[in-house]
Amino acid sequence: MKVDNIATTSTTSSNSNSKALYHFTTNPALNSTPLNDDSLSIGDIISGNPSFVILSNYLIQPHFLLKNCPPLSTTPTLVLAGSLSTENWQTYDRKSPFHPKHLNINTHYPKLKSNYGCMHSKFILSFYPKGGLRVSVCTANFITRDWSNMTNGVFVQDFPLKSASPSPSTTSTQFETTLVNYFEVALEGCEHLSFTILKSKLRLYDFSRANATLIGSVPGRWPTTNSARWGLVQLKDYLSTSVPFKTNSKVCVQFSSLGSTKPKTIENLITTFDTTIDTTIDTTIDTTIDTTIPPTSEKKNPYKNFLQQPARPKRPSIVWPTLSEIRSSFHGMSSGRSLPAQISSLFEESKNKETSKTTLTIKKHLAGMLSHWGDIDNVRTKCAPHIKTFLRYAHDDDGKPESLLYFLLSSHNFS
């Protein structure tokens, strides 16, 4: 991918002239198919001769980064790490996963303000000598597995200096403000880079042409005055001012890690994804789901309010691969290591007293929500999904998609 007009970079990628912002990551197994068209490798993303790089991820394999991104061997680099791959780093200084000989690479572990959550942000900031800044947000960890024959995505956009922009923004944009707010938290206690210095540097760039809204997320409990900066609250605020209400529309979510699926948790998440400018909510009730619930009292049926509340949104589609889809993927059953979920999150167990056999059935409040990852004979389907996408689309009366109302590519999972 070429950084046009704002930085001198080059790449051997066949997609170097692409103007798209969203890409699949390159899969070696798809090289002979059109499915790799417009895809990017990590070497395409960190290309040319950057003067400074900031990397952030949950899992990191130093040898993978250094092998596939030659500039990192010499470029001053700050790594924000959430966890470490256990491969070959224990023998080094435990303050960094990188060998001590790589003096140009420093590692910072952002402080967690809560016992729940982790540093899961996946992004790359590449600063170039001629003034360009490349912002890349991805769904893959910096490990070999995620960038070889699994499905991942990345958003990439290049930004010029305000001094080089023909009509620079005179005020801080949403994109810039979110970046600054994020680093104010992430760099707390960092010995390698001052937040004040980075803030001043980010303020030099013109983000007014950002073709996306940036949603930040950091672990912790935040006062009401600060909560709108982060995660679901920030997303809901954006959707409530930007996405029009459509009677015929549906939410579809897809992720690689499944947390709690309690009715209240599901409803809180889906209610956020359903937010629109118009506060009116479709009152259509999926009666085919309701009839599967035996008549019980409200106290004994924890799903009653969730399923029968008269003013709740239509039921979403939750994309989650089946056992057959995982088994037939390029990595086989080992792909399941990248898609963790407790059996209890999806199924209810019932034991036959006579045969002592245990039967698993989909939880009642998830019935009708789960969707296949794809056609088992499709080559893309064989690249098990580590990508995370959340979207809402408008459809006709027959359910055929007509237009995309919003699309979120993220490192967030469903929890």
CATH number of the domain within which 170 lies? 3.30.870.10
Position 225 scores a pLDDT of 62
pLDDT tens digits, residue range 235-289? 999 999 999 888 889 999 999 998 888 888 888 888 888 888 864 444 343 333 3
Least confident of 58-62, 154-158, 219-223, 324-328: 219-223
pLDDT at 123 over 60: yes
Q: Is residue 161 located within the same domain as residue 247? A: no
Residue 180 pLDDT > 90, yes or no? yes
In a domain, residue 374? The reply is: yes
User: Where residue 96 falls among pLDDT bands split at 50, 70, 90?
Assistant: low
pLDDT of residue 8: 28
- Residue 374 confidence class, pLDDT cut points 50, 70, 90: confident
State which residues form the domain around 118.
22-202
Same domain, 192 and 69: yes
What's the pLDDT score for residue 367? 82
Same structural domain, 75 and 185: yes
**84: confidence class by pLDDT, cuts 50, 70, 90:** low
Show which of 169, 202, 235 is a domain's final residue: 202
Show the tokens assigned to 177: 């403000």
Residues 117 and 263 reside in one and the same domain: no
Residue 3 has pLDDT above 60, yes or no: no
Q: Look at residue 224 and tell me whether its pLDDT is greater than 80.
A: no
Q: Give the strands of the sheet with 249-254, arranged side by side.
A: 370-371, 317-319, 249-254, 389-395, 401-409
385: β partners:
151
Residues 162 and 292 occupy one common structural domain: no
Name the DSSP class of 73: G
Separation between Cα atoms, residue 140 and residue 123, nearest integer Å: 9
Per DSSP, the residues of 189-246 read: T-SSS-HHHHHHHHTTB--TT-SS---B--SS---HHHHTTBHHHHHHHHHHHH----
Give pLDDT, residue 222: 67
Residue 139 lies in a domain: yes
Residue 8 falls within a domain, yes or no?
no
Sequence-distant (≥ 6) Cβ neighbours of residue 230 within 8 angstroms? 216, 217, 218, 222
**According to the model, what pLDDT value does residue 100 have?**
66
Q: How far apart are CA 15 and CA 3, in angstroms?
A: 12
Among 202, 235, 265, residue at a domain's last position: 202
pLDDT tens by residue, 230-245: 888 899 999 999 998 8
Whether residue 159 is found in the same domain as residue 285? no
343 and 292 in a common domain? yes
Q: Indicate the number of domains in the chain.
A: 2
pLDDT at 296 over 70: no
249 lies in a domain?
yes
The pTM assigned to this predicted structure is 0.83
pLDDT tens column, 306-322:
333 333 456 789 999 98
The verdict on 198 and 251 lying in the same domain is no
Chain-wide mean pLDDT for the chain? Answer: 80
